[in-house]
Structure 1
Amino acid sequence: MLSSTRTPSEKRRAFRAGLASGTTQRFPGAFTPLSTRLVQEKGFEGVYLSGAVMANELGLPDVGLTTLTEVALRATQVASATDLPVLVDADTGFGEPMNVARTVQALEDAGVAGLHVEDQVNPKRCGHLDGKEVVDEATAVRRVRAAVGARRDPDLVVMARTDVRGVSGLAAATDRARALVDAGADAVFPEAMASLEEFAAMRAAVDVPLLANMTEFGRSDLFTVQQLQDVGVDMVIFPVSMLRVAMGAVERALDELAATGTLAGQVPTMQTRARLYELVDYAGYAAFDEGVVSFDLRDNRTS
């Protein structure tokens, strides 16, 4: 009830233990705090908070328009709604190395278990689009060093994302990944890998946990969790999937309402009132309220 039953430190330690477990950690993307309840209930290991989703929910494209304040607020809301570790997309860190340091501390205060900072030019763009640019290696290394140096909880996972594969090829990406690990990154997120063989090459290049991004309509095929585990991937995210599913359902419902004047045909596919109340724990709040606010006003004045 109210919020997570686990502290941020507990969730950070759980995240690190999961990454070291030898079992690929599954982090579906949450698009609301409420959706994290379902992710937890269905037995997944963690929750991912996508920068694209946060931008899209504001009606914006994923081109670096969201601010640290907006991301930290949503990260706080999502992290407080679940006992699972939350990994948040920190884009390019919202500026220069000093901004990166401030970003890390703001997201650490938000209660997340980890964050990733990328090596795109600021403002960035979706990692699966053409025309993206990356900064030079020295700049990327400074971002990671700033992030690692700024954290106060050593269990906070600082992950380095590299987009070099889509700009300069796989060899350049493995070189960049090694440099980011040398700079102190706890894990690596190589964006837009084209095949399982490329994930395997990245696995051979670094000795820290490796993340795979299984986003629909992107550069990678939608490999299964088992396929990714077989090539040494430690974690997989499904960043925008749940938002796409939800928005597809909303659009179909609106089409039906416009065409027929009723949503009666959609009712069988809707979440029921009882199920919604179960997710938000109405019963727990009612029991709490009864235990705290129990008094009798019959003998008091009426005015």
Structure 2
Amino acid sequence: EQAGAAGIQLEDQEFPKKCGHTPMRRVIPLDDMVRKLEVAVASRRSDDFLIIARTDARTGLGLDEAIKRGKAFKEAGADVVFVESPESEAEMEQICAEIDAPLLVNVVEGGSTPVLSVAEYKRMGYAMAIYPGSGFLAIGAALQTVYSQILETGSSIGADTPLANFMEFSKRMGFEAVWDFEKKWADD
């Protein structure tokens, strides 16, 4: 918070952290997670600082345990509850019906949770949806397409994936500031 962060996500997954849509995740005892949340709530300096509480209990311990934890997280003071990787729309609707808190859904294309429209998530009762991997998956598909084209034809010309203009992309990445610095300070 002091560093300027607007919020924090605390979770009950054991170390080392794993992706929420992979197997073999384990969670810490519920009492330990509740204590973490209580410390975070007591330590925050502003009510505007968002505390998101995530449980990974669904995969290893079942939906009932995940819902139980979500309720306990809200009671401990979490602003948003995040039950990771529900496996069906029915499970998602049950989470929304049973946990009286703003809820977050993690959308992972190809993961455990059904990929729906934002409108459908809202209808179910979710307050927010995050798409942490969508950009990376798009990049991965584009890389595969363009490099397959180069491998097959010897050129990137005609690839099904549009390529960004190099100079525009460089400017978006902030290279103009680097170039200006070099112009000012580099030896000729």
- TM-score normalized by the length of structure 1: 0.53
Q: How does 1:53-64 map to 2 (within 5 A)?
A: none
Aligned: 1:256 with 2:149: yes
The superposition leaves residues 81-118 of structure 1 with CA deviations (integer Å, 9 ceiling, x where unpaired) of xxxxxxxxxxxxxxxxxxxxxxxx4xx51x44322111
State the distance in 2 between where 1:196 and 1:255 align: 36
Task: Please give the root-mean-square deviation of Cα atoms over the aligned residues, in Å.
Answer: 2.5
1:268 to 1:119, Cα distance in 2 relative to 1, 3 A: closer
The gaps in structure 1 that reach 5 residues or longer are: 1-104, 290-303
The gaps in structure 2 that reach 5 residues or longer are: 181-188
% identical aligned pairs:
32
Contact 2:81 2:101 in 1 (8 A): yes
Cα shift at 1:170: 1.5
Q: Which amino acid aligns with 1:150?
A: S
SS at match of 2:9: strand
Q: 1:204 aligns with which of 76, 87, 97?
A: 97
State the distance in 2 between where 1:130 and 1:191 align: 12
Contact 1:196 1:228 in 2 (8 A): no
Q: How does 1:80-159 map to 2 (within 5 A)?
A: 105=1, 109=3, 111-159=4-52
Q: Which residue of 1 aligns with 2:53?
A: 160
Q: How does 1:1-303 map to 2 (within 5 A)?
A: 105=1, 109=3, 111-266=4-159, 269-273=162-166, 275-276=168-169, 279=172
Q: Which residue of 2 aligns with 1:292?
A: none
Contact 1:148 1:158 in 2 (8 A): yes
SS at match of 1:200: helix
Q: Relative CO higher for 1 or 2, CA cutoff 8 Å, sep ≥ 6?
A: 1
State the distance in 2 between where 1:268 and 1:138 align: 50
Cα shift at 1:275: 4.7
Which is worse superposed, 154-163 or 113-122? Answer: 113-122
- TM-score normalized by the length of structure 2: 0.82
1:268 to 1:258, Cα distance in 2 relative to 1, 3 A: closer
Which is worse superposed, 224-233 or 254-263? Answer: 254-263
